[in-house]
Structure formats: structure tokens, C-alpha cells
Amino acid sequence: MTKVLHISTSDNGGAGLAAYRLHRELLSHGVDSKMLVVTKSVNDNTVIPATPSPELIYQTPSFAVTRKIKKILRRRGMFQTRMERIQREMDALSRSHPDVFFTSAMSVYDLSQHPLVRQADIIHLHWVQNFLNYDTFFENVKKPIVWTLHDLNPLYGGFHHTLFREKYYNDYKNLEEEFYAIKRAALVGKTNITAVAISSQMHRLIANHEFFKDKPIVDIFNGVDYKQFTMPDKQSVRSLLGIAPETKVFLFANRYLNDSQKGLDNLCKAFDLLNIENGLFICLGEGDIPPCGKINVRQFKPVSNTEWLSQLYSAADYLVFPSLQEAFSLTTLEAMCCGTPVIMTPVSGSDDLINDFNGINCDNFTPEAIARGISMAMEKEFNREKIRKDVVSRFNLEQNANKYIKLYNSLSNSH
């Protein structure tokens, strides 16, 4: 039986959760699947936390005098390892630009030597930032590698978002170019990597990039566990939440409300451009909500309980997804699984997801464009059962697992 190892920085969050759900679905199909992570949040013995590699960590001198001298010199930039120097530079940039998400191409984990990597037949990479050490991994691992690209970081040096890269490139120029060179050396010419695109837009970006243009690309979009995300009765849920039947309810859901790339600020500005009678805006997440003067607002803390999430999705008339950059959102799939139409900005995945009867694809990212999308949605009639049936038929996890199993088998046979 083919042994598959998923490598992901976490088993939680958008990309980590997508990887974990796929891993569990593969297990249910009889695949010998394991998952290697930095941060483990699930009670699951098939998910294994990794430990840093001692040889990649600075070893403190055993003699006290030597230790003291080296400590002083290291503070002045001497006797630092490359990773330590990089981390110091990244820490300084992080203090200057706390909203910029920027990660290293180097890591204190040498995964190429991990026992689970050695035992596996197929290595499946997911979101691996601050975990995968590009310098050593691709040079030493000769087995077939499947890489599901959950964002644009594999195409850049340290940036994850195009807008941040365009805005802050000069500030991060040295590290961005250093990391990009590391990735180029690691990836160009490697013939054992198959990239997986999770949207049509992502496919186009991967296919045109120097790291991946010589590699096979397979389209497998994210899947949703429709057995966990159900469609409870809308009015019953509203009664539990104290929401009147005639209220127009808009839902925004993101773990961190103040993530500038998720567009909450633009959404609040869009509400200020509209006059929605009996409107309620529900924010699901941690953080502060920008002023939304023309609509009532309620906030709920983020939860992982899918039954509670299904109730919130079902209570809403619309999920509004104003993100500025995305690969392929799980939140939109979950909402549609509960029969809730989606108003979405034109991020990656929106063209694959939105159709004539399940939501609105806004024509831009601006507050004005989002306001137009909300108005268009409010003028339409949506059939919740039809929305759920469509998303289940196109984006179910069983279908995804079968596509990956087919890919694994073809790679194993050719290898």
C-alpha cells in the first residue's frame, strides 16, 4: 500500500484545516496517510508534531567565559548562523511593518532526514512556511512530491500576498531576493514535483512561473465536508439567536478580524454606502470591528464546532467575503453547504465557485463594488437547497480524495 505523508505547518487555519480534512478523508478510503506538523491542535495520533534538528540550531559553548564572550560578539553580529542573521533582520522588519506577513525560506527543521519522510512513498506538501527548509529538503528528497499550493508564497521569496509585495518590496528587498534565490536553486530543474492548483487563477499563475513551468500541474479544488456542515432550519436558529425573521442578516467570518487582507474595513465602508432597513451584520472572529454606522452589528468569537458554525451560516441571508487576496476559501464552501449565498470579491477561486444561482461575484475590491454586489444580491431570490446541492456535487471531499488517490497511484507507478 502506498504510504502518503502530508507536511503542513499546522493542522488548523485555512490551509492546515484543508490538509487535515483531506488526510482524514484519505484514511477513510484506506490510504496509509500520516501528517507531520509544527503546531498540532487535534487529538489524533496520525498527526505527528516535528522537533527542530539539533545541527541547525546554535549550540551554546560549554565554558562560561567563552559563552559570555560569544554572547557579546553575537549581539554585534559576529558568530551568527545564517538563520540567526535572517531572523534578526525579519524581527526588525516585523517591528516596522507589523501588518506584513513575511516568512523565511529557511528553517530549523531538516525534514529530509525525518523518519516519516524516509518511510513514505509520496510526500504531499501543503502550507509549509517556517517549517520547510528549502536548502536541504528538495536536494535530499528524491521521492515523488505532490505540492498543493494554498497561497502565492511558493512563487515569491518571503511574501504571501501580491499587494504586500508591491507595496513593501523595497523595504524587504534584501531578504526577498535572498529567499527567492534559495527557492530558485531548490526548485528549478527538479523533476519529482507535481504542483496542485486549487483554482483556475492559481493554475495560470503556477504555469507561468519559472519555478513550476517545467512541472506537471493538476487541478484539484478544495473540498468541503458536507456531512459536518448541514442546513438547520433558518427560523429555528434565528429564534435561538434572538434574530427576528424579517431581519436581513449579513455574515463575515474570519479568525482574525483585523487581518488587513480580509477586507473587513472595505465591507464596513460598503455598508455605510447603503441604507439597509432591518439589517444586521454578524462578525465571527477575534479583534475589533471598524465603524459600521448604518447597520446593527453583533460579534461572536471564532469557534471550530461545525454544528455551531452551521447554525450561524444558516441564520445568515448572505455570507459577505470581501477578501483582497485568497487562494480558494473554505469559508465560502462551508456557507454554501449550509445553503447560504455568497457575495464575493474577485479573488482566486471566485470564478470557479460563484454561478448564477449561488451568489454574486463583485467586479472589484472597493467599498463601492462590494456595495453594488450586496444590492444585486438583495434583488435576487436564492434557493438554499439548490445552493447546497450544487456545492456538494462539485466540491465534496470524497471526490477530492479520489482525485488525489489517482494522482498518488500514477506517481508511484511511474516512480
Q: Write the CA distances from 213 to 97, 343, 385, integer angstroms.
A: 33, 33, 41
CA 263 to CA 269: how far, in whole Å?
10
Among the residue ranges 72-86, 156-170, 253-267, 275-289, the one predicted with the least confidence is: 72-86
pLDDT at position 77, please?
Answer: 56
Q: Write the CA distances from 10 to 38, 128, 211, 309, integer angstroms.
A: 6, 8, 24, 21
Say how many C-beta atoms besides its own lie within 10 A of residue 192's C-beta.
Answer: 14
Whether pLDDT at 415 is above 80: no
**Minimal CA–CA distance to 327: which of 147, 103, 70?**
147
Q: What is the three-class DSSP state of 272?
A: helix
Among the residue ranges 77-81, 390-394, 398-402, the one predicted with the least confidence is: 77-81
pLDDT at position 61, please?
Answer: 46
Among the residue ranges 3-12, 49-58, 119-128, 145-154, the one predicted with the least confidence is: 49-58
User: What is the pLDDT averaged over residues 152-165?
Assistant: 93
β-pair type (145-149, 122-125) = parallel
Q: Write the CA distances from 150 to 85, 196, 200, 222, integer angstroms.
A: 28, 9, 13, 9
Q: Are 196 and 121 in contact (CB under 8 A)?
A: no
CA 119 to CA 102: how far, in whole Å?
32
Share of the chain above pLDDT 70, in %: 93
Beta bridge partners of 361: 344
Q: What is the three-class DSSP state of 276?
A: coil
pLDDT tens profile 311-365: 999 999 999 999 988 878 889 999 999 999 999 999 888 889 999 999 999 999 9
**Domains of the chain and any CATH numbers:** 3-223+397-414 (3.40.50.2000), 234-394 (3.40.50.2000)
Whether pLDDT at 395 is above 70: yes
pLDDT at position 63, please?
Answer: 47
- DSSP letter at 359? E
Q: Are 109 and 133 in contact (CB under 8 A)?
A: yes
Whether pLDDT at 62 is above 70: no
